[in-house]
Amino acid sequence: MFRRKREPRDFNAEIESHVQLESERLRDEGLNEEEARAAAHRSFGNITQAEERYYESSRWLFWDHLWQDLRFGVRMLARNSGFATVAILTLALGIAVNATMFSLVSAFLLRRPPGRDPENVVVVSSVNPSPVFLPEGSPVSPPNYLAWRERHDVFTEMAAADDGRSVTLTGQFQPEALGAAAVTPSYFHLLAVEPQVGRTFVDGEDQPGRNQVVVLSNELWQRRFAADSAVIGSTVRINRENYTVIGVMPASFRLLGFTPQLWTPLTLGAKD
């Protein structure tokens, strides 16, 4: 493919030598110059077909045709520069969008969830009979959760999470709005994830008066507390209330979707 076996002009010279030798032999037999050369050509056969067979035998035709097509395509694009620019930009944008979407799908949907047995962990939601958007994704009401937790024979353990909250973190630094989740004490135990530093919630910390504790994400711990383990036991201000930091989750703890920056106990009272 990269080095021709023989230059075409050498092959043409060889054909000519065959024809010349045959012409000389026929002239010796009594034919004149014109008749001898015509008879030599007839004896040799179709010269064009011989050249084509030689051309095909000295190349990998697939790559040769591909190279010809590429050259032709480049010439056509160069001749229509405006169309070529639009086509290239469209392809570049399409590839970029597809690569970005695949990265998001790979990061949030194809990644193995944390825990020792994620295949046996399910998310329970309510179904709204009304014709609304995503009717099967409605939140579960606290009374339903409490009833299911007390009377069920399907699951080994149940936990509840309100992971769509937004809180304001204040203290000795600039106030910052953060995504947060309120979870029941069994939440981290159900997912079988241990904290990197400190501990997670224990039974009773979902009761009023004992619920002023917080678990930080690894990203928040690194960014706002310089990964200082002394943060355990310190006090931070969340929504103008004091909370005691009791633990930090590992960097590998990332659920499907957007992982909250901190977790607080989910307190369910009579009004719920």
- 116-163 pLDDT, tens digit per residue, is 788 888 888 888 888 888 888 788 899 999 998 888 788 888 999 998
> In the structure, what pLDDT confidence band is assigned to residue 270 with cuts at 50, 70 and 90?
confident
Q: Count other C-beta atoms under 10 Å from residue 42's C-beta.
A: 9
Between residues 19 and 186, the one the model is more confident about? 186
Evaluate if residue 254 carries a pLDDT over 60: yes
At 23-79, the pLDDT tens digits run 888 888 888 888 888 888 888 778 777 777 777 676 676 777 788 889 898 888 888
pLDDT of residue 12: 77
Which spans in 45-80 are helix H?
47-57, 61-79
pLDDT of residue 110: 67
Q: CA–CA separation, 136 vs 170, rounded Å?
A: 37
Number of separate domains in the chain: 1
Residue 244 lies in a domain: yes
User: Per residue in 166-205, pLDDT tens?
Assistant: 999 987 778 899 999 999 999 999 988 999 999 999 999 9
Q: Is residue 164 part of a domain?
A: yes
Residue 219: closest CA among 176, 186, 254: 254
How many other CB atoms are there within 10 angstroms of residue 144's CB atom? Answer: 12
pLDDT tens track for 72-119? 988 888 888 888 888 889 999 999 999 998 887 776 666 676 677 888
List the single range of 5-19, 39-53, 112-126, 257-271 with lowest mean pLDDT.
Answer: 5-19
| pLDDT tops 50 at residue 1 | no
- Model pTM score: 0.59
- Decide: 36 and 26 in contact? Cβ < 8 Å: yes
Residue 259 pLDDT exceeds 90: no
- Tell me whether residue 142 is in a domain: yes
The answer to whether residue 146 is domain-embedded is yes
Does residue 172 lie within any of the structural domains? Answer: yes
Higher-pLDDT residue of 247 and 259 is 247
Query: Is the model's pLDDT at 216 over the cut of 90?
Result: yes
Residue ranges making up the domain that contains 137: 118-265
In-domain check, residue 52: no
In a domain, 233, yes or no: yes
Phi, psi of 203 (to 5 degrees): -60, 135
In 3D space, the residue among 214, 197, 199, 196 whose CA is nearest the CA of residue 250 turns out to be: 196
Confidence at residue 107, expressed as pLDDT on a 0 to 100 scale: 67
Residue 57 covered by a domain: no
